[in-house]
Structure 1
Amino acid sequence: MSTEEPIWRQCIANRLRDRNRNETRGKEIILQNNRLIDQASQLKAENLKISVENEQLRTALSTGGGKDATGAQLAIAALEKKLLAQQEELTDLHKRKGENSQMIVDLNLSVEKQKKQIAEKDLIINEQRSANNSLRAEVEMLKSSLDQLKKLNTTLLDEHTALQLAFSSLEEKLRGVQDENRCLLERLMRYKSKDADKLNEENENFLRKRLPSIFRKRSDKLKRDLEDAVREPNSQHRNSGSPSQLGGDDGDNISLTAGGNNGAVGGIDYYNLDEMLGPLHEPNLNPCLVSSSIPTTIYMKFEAHDNESHAVRWSPVERLVATGGGDRKVKLWDVGKVAQEPRAVLGGSSAGINSVDFDSTGTYILGTSNDYGARVWTVADSRLRHTLTGHSGKVMAAKYLHEPVKVVTGSHDRTLKIWDLRSIACIETKFAGSSCNDLVTTDSLGSTIISGHYDKKLRFWDIRTEKQADDILLPAKITSIDMSKDGYYLICSIRDDTIKLLDLRKNQIIGSFSHENFKLSCDWARASFNTCGSKVACGSADGLVYIWNVMGELEATLKGHTSAVNAVSWCPNSNALASVGKGKRCIIYTES
């Protein structure tokens, strides 16, 4: 403040000096003009006196003569010359008087103008002073507010530290409880295995004592199977009849209890055992070998939502398609009945739907939304069962972990959250460091989660441990990922308008799908494997659906959309394909 006051004081002093200088200069001109007027008056008096003397001399000259006349003439000539000079000087003084008068007028105008400018400057100075005072008051208020915010921030930081410590202790307790639960489950499985072994042993003794003929037939059949397996070079396609091949390692899948009739024990007719084991001896047919055609015919076309459609998914058990759009609704469409009206409309979201997914039984449907939440509905009665809130950004993807108990969600807040649907609570948070656009789980237990992120990385999470596996860096940010049914291969659609094929057993890129006209429509465009993992489909910004085989060859482009295609989904039970896009339209393609 002390450095600002001399500046405006000095400015005012300088202006006052200039004003004084200007006014003083005009005063000197006025004084000089007055002196000139006095001199002119004096010269007029002298001129009058000389004129009188001149008349006297002329009179004397007219009356006299001689030398006096000559002298008088000379005097008159001198006086006339002097008079002429005086007149010229008087004229010059009049001229200078006029110039000085004009200068005085100009100076007066300049002084008035300077006075107006000074008044304006004074007004501006007063306004600036008032503004300066208001700004000082505002600065003081902001300083006090800043101090309060600092104190509040310190308090919140202390609370956050305390909560973090409490959270860490609770996590330690949770890990201890999980380890204890795991140990108890292992002990339970061992006890069940022992019980099953004892039960099998008792059944064998029962058969040996009470039904010797059935036991002999069973033993003879096992011997024949073993002999056939030894004789055949390709014995891995035949079933040896061991319990591990028939029903698992724990012996719970096939249990023999005493009782029954007609040669049946525990509900299994050993006389018809060949018929039961028959399918196990048949080769496992690859569904890709059964049907390798491409869906090229538009079977059904309808307006799915009021505006842009973002997601589509087939039910795993029936010909039912779920779509999600910007109108905040999830709609279920009965494709088997070719219905143009939705079978059900699932509400509850307050923002657009980003993804939909069914559980493996088709009983529940899971949807994520831009309102930072995810929701679970039941398909049968279309009721909202659970609402999962806790993310601080829009939720882009969700999958079931341990059906139907746990769910994992990925969000733009750079975290993945695991939810327990029994308590409707988040039980674990994975901090990814980048926005998650899509995720998949490797099996029904969800032991491993794979997530695709904005920072171009694929991240692998093992929920059984705290460690994170190595990431895979791709050439561009990831928009979607999808896994083949056998869990060996993964496709990733990325923003350089390509789809990468990865072998998860090697964690390497083994193929790439692209085309000169193929362009991803948005940052959440979804690509999809077909059921057997032999074909890859993805929508494009030009309104076409592109289909490649796993060798990288483009097999077909499907038309029907008039705008960009956002998501596609293969039917798990047939060769049908569903697609949705920005034009609100959903199209079902089937084989011709």
Structure 2
Amino acid sequence: MAGLPAPDLRVSPPAPQPWRRHIVLQLRDRDQNQRTGFQDLIRIYSRLLEKTSLTKGILGRAGRCPSGPQSSLQDQNLQLRKTTGELAYQVLELQQQIKIKEAAVQDQQDRLVQEEVRRAGALAARQALQERVDQVQGRNRVLKADYDALLDLQTGAEARLREEKLRGGGLVEDMVHLKKEAAARMNTRNERRSRFREATLQKELRRAARSSPARSSPARSSAPISPSSAPSSRSSSPKNQDEELAGRGHTRLFRSSSATSPRLFTSIRGLFGRRRGHSVCSLEETLSFPVGVCVSARVPARALQVLEAHQQGINAVRFSCSSDLLATGGTDRVIKVWELRAGQLTHRATLDGSREGVSCVEFDPPGQRILAGSFDKSALLWRLGDSTPKVTLTGHSRKVTAARFTGSAHQVVTGSADRTVRLWDLQRNACVQQLLVSSYVSDLVCSDSVFISGHFDCRIRVWDSRLSGCVQELPAPGKVTSLDLSSDHRRLLSCCRDDSLQLVDLRGRSQDRVCFRADGFKCGSDSNKAVISPDGCYLAAGSADASVYIWNVSNGNLETRLPDGHSSPVVAVSWSLSGENVVSVDKSRWAVLWSDL
């Protein structure tokens, strides 16, 4: 077998085909691998055959030789047999190794086939994903084009909106100017007519005075002329009566005309009760509104009513100027309006529109509008008869913590956690002034063009809208949670997180400060609200121990403590302007009406 040449498998294909060439290369590799593994075996087997042939020859010659060396031949034979057995054992071991290597090669080939299948699947998946990527990119390009087109449309619409707003503002100004001119012309015309009527009345009265002695008797002519002595032809007309009385009041010809005469009041109402021309003032501004006047505030002694005012905690409470309406705002995103009659609060209206909790509420002086700050970064304005807000003021970047009406009927000021104070014009629904502050704004109070803000940096700042800046800073003993201004605008109350109230006298240059504390009083939150009584004699604040504390301003001592009514920390207190009632609210949605009765 050693002399046999290896079979030549390199057959030239009739035509060069890739798959045939691949098969031929695989057969060559297989032949080379298998031949390399069997070369040692073939070489050993060839040597074994040679030794066997040699042994046979030696044995043949030994048969022909004498028996002398027979023993040595047997030893050689045994040695050869032993060698043959060892070689046979090696052959078996080599065959076993060949089988193991063939199994390993077969396993590798199976794994190679599996990997080829997985590779083909991965290529197909990659192709599908690439197609999806192309589709998504195509859709993105279409969407990008649509977005650019919409952005252009929005930019154009905003530009047109700004132009229309400017145009509308100009039209409003022109309209107001025209109305003012028309009102001025109508007032001038009415004054001319009034002067003409007065002159005519004076002439007629002089003529009547000259002609009356000739028609009357001497006894009657000496008597004073009363207001009822006018000719019957003129007294039959109400218009002429008013004109005659107006002329008498103007010239004071007759002493019998009393200032308390009903006819004189009728004539005055006739002259000034009519509406002149087209006035630019609204009816709401010209009408008088009731205001509760407090002569002496009453210190509450017991709870008249305890009611569940909201579904969640209450953050703010405020009486109207007439003391008959109460507004409460809570974390349930609504404001509830209550009517106070006969010592009981009854629900009147619910105002919604805030997207988050309400932080503060306030009535305007006529009591027809309610302003509120919200945690949704806006301030909202309702009319009392509407449940939805009329105006929404947006611009703050964090929650609005304070909102107040200024001295003007068309301006409000707001403070926010974004460290800004903003002045708003309600006629344009726009911010007209923004003031940057170095600390969190917790509360605000206003007096004409001046407003005061409290902050978490233990400072109270006084602002003047005419100067567009801070004009004074006042220190506070702790973080300021609320501010309140006395009815005469002379004293400022601040509630601080160091569990104290500070009353500042704004009249003097030194600005005297008085601190009020009490055993057990604890400021329960960063928005705890304290108030001054309408007569300025008492201070009231809620505590974390579910009580209401009231101090006497004159001696600085605790006047009373109201422990009953609440079961959770009291966060806000409001004192009616009439001084008769106090309402406190807590974090567990309860409101308590207090009185001295």
Global fold match (TM > 0.5): yes
Q: Distance in 1 between matches of 2:386 and 2:160?
A: 40
Provide the residue aligned with 1:469 in structure 2.
470
Q: CA deviation at 1:408?
A: 1.0
What's the counterpart of residue 562 of structure 1?
567
Distance 2:482 2:140 in 1: 47
Does the alignment pair 1:418 with 2:421?
A: no
**CA distances 1:267-307 after superposition (whole Å, capped 9, x unpaired):** 8xxxxxxxxxxxxxxxxxx989x66x743422221122233
Q: 1:396 touches 1:437 (CA, 8 Å); kept in 2? A: yes
Q: Does 1:441 align with 2:442?
A: no
Q: Secondary structure at the match of 1:92?
A: helix
Q: Which amino acid aligns with 2:342?
A: K
CA contact (8 A) 1:257 1:266 kept: no
Aligned to 2:264: none
Matches within 5 A, 1:169-568: 258=252, 294-327=299-332, 329-339=334-344, 341-342=346-347, 344-347=348-351, 349=353, 351=355, 352-362=357-367, 365-367=370-372, 372=378, 374-378=380-384, 382=385, 387-392=390-395, 396-402=401-407, 405-410=409-414, 412=416, 414=420, 416-420=422-426, 425-426=428-429, 428-433=431-436, 438-442=443-447, 446-452=448-454, 460-463=462-465, 465=466, 467-470=468-471, 472=473, 479-493=481-495, 499-505=501-507, 510-512=513-515, 520-549=523-552, 556-559=560-563, 560-568=565-573
Whole-Å separation in 2 of the counterparts to 1:266 and 1:258: 14
Alignment partners' CA distance in 2, 1:325 and 1:306: 8
- Rate the CA distance shift 1:466–1:32 in 2: closer, same or farther, 3 A: same
**8 Å Cα contact 2:537/2:552 also seen in 1:** yes
Structure 2 counterpart SS, 1:105: helix
Question: Matched residue of 2:535: which SS?
Answer: coil
Aligned partners of 1:536 and 1:547 also within 8 Å: yes
2:87 aligned residue (65, 86, 89): 89
Structure 1: which amino acid aligns with 2:577?
P
Specify every segment of 5 or more residues in structure 2 that has no aligned partner in the other structure, as ranges: 1-26, 181-186, 188-248, 262-292
* 1:48-67 matched pairs, under 5 angstroms: 48-49=52-53, 52-53=56-57, 56=60, 60=63, 65=66
3-state secondary structure, aligned to 1:533: coil
Contact 1:259–1:266, Cα closer than 8 Å, also in 2: no
Q: TM-score, normalised by structure 2?
A: 0.60
Supply the distance in 2 between the matched residues of 1:534 and 1:311 (Cα, whole angstroms). 23
Higher relative contact order (CA 8 A, sep 6+): 2
1:40/1:90 contact within 8 Å kept: no
Q: Which residue of 1 aligns with 2:49?
A: 45
- Residue 37 of structure 1 and its aligned partner are, at CA, apart by 3.8
Deviations 1:245-274 (A, max 9, x none): xxxxxxxxxx9984775796688xxxxxxx
Count residues in correspondence. 467
What SS does the aligned partner of 2:344 have? coil
Instruction: Provide the identity percentage.
Output: 22
Give the secondary-structure state (helix, strand or coil) at the position aligned to 2:394: coil
State the distance in 2 between where 1:302 and 1:477 align: 31
Aligned-residue offset at 1:586? 0.8
How many angstroms apart in 2 are the aligned matches of 1:553 and 1:322?
30
Letter in 2 for 1:586: A
In 2, are the aligned partners of 1:388 and 1:425 still within 8 Å (CA)?
no
Q: Which amino acid aligns with 1:357?
A: E
Does the Cα contact within 8 Å between 1:258 and 1:265 map onto a contact in 2?
Answer: no
**Do the aligned partners of 1:54 and 1:79 also contact (CA within 8 Å) in 2?**
no
Contact 1:375 1:384 in 2 (8 A): no
| TM-superposition CA deviations, 1:348-378 (whole Å, max 9, x none) | 5355544333344545554555674523434
| 1:374–1:395 Cα contact (<8 Å) kept | no
TM-aligned CA deviation for residue 530 of structure 1: 1.9
User: So what's the TM-score if we normalise by structure 1?
Assistant: 0.60
3-state SS in 2 of match to 1:525: coil
- Provide the rounded CA distance (Å) in 2 between the counterparts of 1:294 and 1:565: 18
State the match for 1:224 in structure 2.
none
Superposed displacement of residue 26, structure 1? 9.1
Change (3 A) 1:259 1:522: farther
Q: Give the CA deviation at 1:398.
A: 3.8
Task: Indicate which of 577, 580, 585 corresponds to 2:585.
Answer: 580
CA distance in 1, matches of 2:350, 2:118: 70
- Deviation, structure 1 residue 166: 9.9
Q: In the TM superposition, what is the alpha-carbon distance from 1:579 to its structure 2 partner?
A: 0.7
Per-residue CA deviations over 1:316-351 (Å, capped at 9, x if unaligned) read: 334543323345554444444243642x12445355
